Homo-oligomer: A and B are copies of this chain.
């Protein structure tokens, strides 16, 4: 059987050339006589891998020198707890914008540590099952907040902040962004954020490594006596090598970043992603109401296209028949229902074209 069209929400598709290179280097990484998994994390070979990945990330995302780049473990879920422990002031609170399931998880973990203000018409959004992001006018921002946290793309609900409409914090309030599901999908104005973090398993590589980009002045706020693995200062001082990092996952991230550079960088990635999303949303909008997008048009995610069909039976049929034709991962998350097509960087244009064709045929047969 050949490779499928992979619409998984994460872990997700990886670029074929990346997988081929990982395969070819599996027994002997560049003359080392070892697999990457067998290299010491203190070796020159691995030092080369992690520093090149960092350098490529800095150049692709335009990360200034006064930011640290960390490769950590534990996924975004550990970051939810970790950033609250590092940065919610003991007197005071942090502001969280609630846009969906992932923002909610971030709030839940932060509330275990300190005071959290949920802002942005959260109740109304929840009534609409998180089908759009709040407007600036709805954000009752605290000018004294320890930080302002938001989720740049909600994987489950398929809702994304437009690049030019992301929330702006009051002067002096650090902006912290969970970019797990849209990092590196478009050019980034990194200096706008105090911290960005992302599980790798959507746009950057395999599961098991989490990227954290952090402005260095924030490290002065890190309290003492945190568990060392949850201490950004210790992780930054040790350049992600306090303990053994997830070496192979970092290597894979490095290969993915090199692939992004090879195909033309984030401008080209953004262009392709826009084209891919436009094609799928057009298939929805041109279906005469057969397909109904979950997200409001102004909040549509380029990464996760969520849509419903006229009945749950048809949705099940769509998922079953698409899967049988090699279109994998289209079943939606249970909290939204329906279908979801995740169109991350590594998903080829061809897969989108096959999906759109399938959507058209399914409509003709069942519409």
Contact = CB atoms under 8 A, between A and B. Distances in A.
Interface string A224-244: 011111100000000000111
A254 interface: no
Interface in A1-30: 1-4, 6, 8-14, 16, 19-20, 22-23, 26-28
A206 B74 contact: no
A326 B33 CA distance: 8
Interface string A25-50: 01110011111011111000000000
A26 B328 CA distance: 18
A3 B243 CA distance: 26
Nearest to A9: B40
A305 interface: no
Contacts of A112: 225-227
A207 B1 CA distance: 31
A80 B209 CA distance: 20
Given A8-B38, A27-B19, A248-B207, A74 B74 contact: yes
A40 B229 contact: no
B207 A252 contact: no
Contact of A207 (B41, B75, B229): B41
A246 B4 contact: no
A199 interface: yes
Contacts of A2: 28, 33
Interface string A66-90: 0000000111111011100100000
Contact of A10 (B4, B16, B201, B244): B244
Nearest to A112: B225
Contacts of A27: 3, 16, 19-20, 23
Nearest to A199: B244
A33 B249 contact: no
A293 interface: no
A329 interface: yes
A206 B37 contact: yes
A109 interface: yes
A14 B29 CA distance: 14
Interface in A252-286: 252
25 contacts: A1-B33, A2-B28, A8-B40, A10-B40, A10-B244, A11-B39, A13-B38, A14-B37, A19-B37, A20-B27, A22-B26, A37-B205, A37-B206, A75-B244, A77-B228, A77-B229, A78-B227, A78-B229, A81-B229, A206-B247, A207-B244, A207-B246, A207-B248, A208-B209, A208-B248
Q: List 10 A-B pairs, minimum CB-CB distance, nearest first.
A: A208-B246, A81-B227, A4-B33, A37-B206, A23-B26, A73-B73, A77-B243, A78-B229, A207-B244, A208-B208
